[in-house]
């Protein structure tokens, strides 16, 4: 039985309200006793490193904390902080990329604001998913009621980068005389405005029964789509690893960008310098060492520890600039800076595809959260969690855009923390939200994240983006049998998707219209943007083929059918019983029939 559902009773119990004295007594027990503060949890387990050749003591399994179990205060704060660290890298990466040289080239102050806002909005919108509100008078919910934390979606990055590049070409964004891309906050506002409208498609999807949605978007569709999202992002991360993904990485950069990120940066070097490669490797190797030798809490936060290691090395060797941190305000909050919201026509179709993929990801993430939380993964309660999670995802997409942040989605990283710590209690989720909001409010923290050198950030983001690609592979392997039909669908979808990812400008010269009809031009730009986005092409092709190609009976299944029919006939049963197999001609005849 699901924890949210109470036990069945024949006689209703009288509603007993605790007196104020009893409530105060409960608070005193929670905050002033050892059991309420610490409990009997094995805290040493979280910090015990995995040292080779060291004899490990056998320990008893830690208690499992369900959704509504009482959780010690210190443990709730500790695990909430662990959840916040586990998702920190995923939250800050998209705003840093989209606001920097790989996006709309915003000023440092705006980049710091967007990182702060991403942390604050993630904390606030996670509260919606964790709390789970019932819509009065309907069977529908908003939220999952689990530790389903919300972060900035990686899916938006390739779509937004393609749209921003198109805006600089068609004159929507300003370009200097020497070809340098100038700051374009209006492009970011167009992304937000279009996302607020496109997010409504996910709200509509939330009211479709999950079984129908999974039939349209099975793992055969979502797996290769997620994989190509990660593969597309790896290029950006690896460019940062070698110095930066902005103009300094061009084959013939302008004089101002002869060195990365530009010639005014401290200890600037040409793109691809071995020093930059070494900084990125310091992050990458640290992540591997944390996984091999680290304690459980280190393994779940290895990406942040690797980033911190790279920052320390960069600061000690003169690559770190403190000017942005010194100029940053003490505190920040959403709407300190605003952007002019508009709807950019060519972005509508790609963003609809983004939110459809976010809905599919939400279903998988909520299912995994139910599994590690020891709750039902089938039945009506589970389906209400799926419906509530997808609906909250769509609403969060609208709210995030209005709060100057790109689309949000349910994160999957925290499922590993739940399984590792044996704690699915919502109190830990609320503490996670608290820490995220605190991190975002203190703007100096966001400023220090923006000041991280590109090479250090690239070592981390390359690892993160590759984990997205591996997640797509895992979706394919877990949910897709490799029959001939499925292999054909994957081949057809990935052929065009890989092509569009590796040669992203292949469709540039198909449409040559240069007239004054802005509506037609925007429509053609939308088609170009969709077809030059690899994962969108793969999703479209695999959906169409999966719905149109008939299922085939495999050879092994066909043999099983033949044997079953043979056993059901009197002659076949007698021959089988006597140990005589039917002739090969007979089997061939049955196959032909």
The pLDDT value recorded for residue 7 is 45
In Å, what is the CA distance from 282 to each residue of 163, 268, 272, 302, 464?
Answer: 33, 18, 16, 13, 15
The pLDDT value recorded for residue 26 is 67
Tokens of 132: 């789970």
The pLDDT value recorded for residue 16 is 47
From the centroid of its chain, how far is CA 560? Answer: 42
d(Cα 397, Cα 334) in Å, to the nearest integer?
15
Among 419, 411, 392, 380, smallest CA distance to 205 is for 392
Task: Dump pLDDT digits (tens) for 473-488.
Answer: 888 887 788 899 999 9
Task: Dump pLDDT digits (tens) for 203-227.
Answer: 999 998 877 877 888 888 888 988 8
The pLDDT value recorded for residue 8 is 40
Q: Which residues of the chain have pLDDT under 50?
A: 1, 6-16, 572-593
Answering whether pTM is above 0.85, one says no
The pLDDT value recorded for residue 59 is 54
Please compute Rg for the chain using Cα positions: 27
The pLDDT value recorded for residue 17 is 52
The pLDDT value recorded for residue 591 is 41
d(Cα 305, Cα 449) in Å, to the nearest integer?
13
- Cβ-contact 193, 348 below 8 angstroms: no
DSSP 405: -
């Amino acid at each position: 039985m699901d924890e949210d559902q109470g036990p069945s009773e024949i006689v209703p119990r009288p509603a007993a309200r605790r007196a104020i004295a009893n409530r105060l007594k409960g608070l005193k027990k929670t905050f002033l006793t050892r059991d309420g503060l610490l409990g009997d949890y094995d805290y040493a387990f979280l910090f015990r490193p995995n040292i080779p050749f060291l004899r490990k003591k056998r320990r008893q399994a830690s208690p499992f904390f369900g959704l509504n179990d009482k959780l010690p205060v210190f443990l709730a704060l500790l695990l909430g902080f662990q959840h916040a660290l586990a998702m920190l890298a995923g939250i800050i990466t998209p705003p840093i990329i989209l606001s920097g040289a790989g996006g709309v080239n915003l000023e440092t102050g705006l980049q710091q604001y967007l990182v702060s806002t991403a942390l604050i909005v993630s904390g606030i919108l996670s509260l919606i998913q964790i709390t789970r509100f019932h819509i009065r008078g309907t069977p529908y919910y908003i939220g999952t009621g689990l530790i389903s934390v919300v972060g900035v979606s990686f899916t938006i990055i390739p779509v937004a980068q393609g749209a921003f590049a198109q805006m600089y070409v068609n004159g929507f964004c300003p370009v200097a005389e020497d070809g340098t891309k100038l700051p374009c906050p209006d492009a970011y506002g167009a992304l937000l405005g279009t996302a607020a409208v496109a997010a409504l498609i996910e709200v509509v999807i939330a009211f479709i029964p999950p079984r129908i949605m999974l039939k349209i978007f099975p793992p055969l569709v979502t797996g290769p789509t997620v994989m190509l999202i990660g593969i597309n992002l790896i290029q950006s991360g690896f460019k940062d690893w070698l110095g930066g993904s902005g103009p300094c990485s061009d084959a013939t950069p302008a004089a101002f960008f002869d060195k990365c990120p530009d010639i005014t940066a401290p200890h600037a070097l040409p793109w691809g310098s071995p020093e930059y490669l070494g900084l990125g490797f310091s992050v990458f190797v640290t992540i591997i060492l944390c996984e091999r030798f680290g304690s459980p809490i280190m393994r779940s936060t290895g990406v942040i520890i690797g980033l911190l290691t790279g920052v320390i090395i960069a600061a000690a060797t003169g690559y770190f600039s403190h000017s942005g941190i010194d100029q940053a305000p003490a505190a920040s909050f959403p709407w300190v800076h605003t952007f002019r919201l508009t709807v950019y026509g060519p972005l509508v179709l790609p963003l609809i595809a983004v939110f459809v993929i976010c809905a599919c990801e939400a279903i998988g993430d909520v299912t995994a959260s139910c599994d590690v939380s020891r709750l039902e993964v089938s039945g009506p309660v589970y389906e209400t969690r799926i419906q509530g999670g997808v609906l909250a995802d769509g609403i969060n997409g609208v709210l995030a855009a209005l709060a100057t942040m790109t689309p949000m989605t349910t994160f999957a990283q925290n499922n590993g923390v739940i399984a590792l710590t044996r704690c699915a209690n919502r109190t830990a989720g609320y503490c996670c939200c608290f820490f995220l909001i605190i991190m975002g409010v203190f703007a100096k923290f966001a400023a220090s994240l923006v000041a991280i050198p590109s090479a250090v950030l690239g070592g981390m983001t390359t690892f993160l983006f590759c984990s997205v690609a591996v997640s797509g592979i895992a979706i394919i392997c877990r949910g897709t049998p490799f029959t001939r039909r499925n292999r054909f669908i994957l081949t057809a979808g990935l052929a065009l998707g890989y092509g569009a990812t590796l040669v992203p400008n292949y469709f540039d010269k198909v449409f040559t219209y240069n007239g004054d009809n802005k509506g037609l031009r925007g429509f053609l730009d939308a088609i170009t943007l969709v077809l030059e986005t690899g994962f969108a092409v793969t999703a479209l092709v695999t959906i169409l083929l999966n719905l149109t190609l008939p299922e085939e009976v495999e050879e092994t299944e066909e043999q099983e059918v033949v044997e079953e029919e043979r056993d059901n006939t009197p002659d076949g049963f007698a021959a089988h019983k006597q140990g005589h197999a039917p002739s090969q001609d007979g089997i061939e005849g049955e196959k032909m029939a």
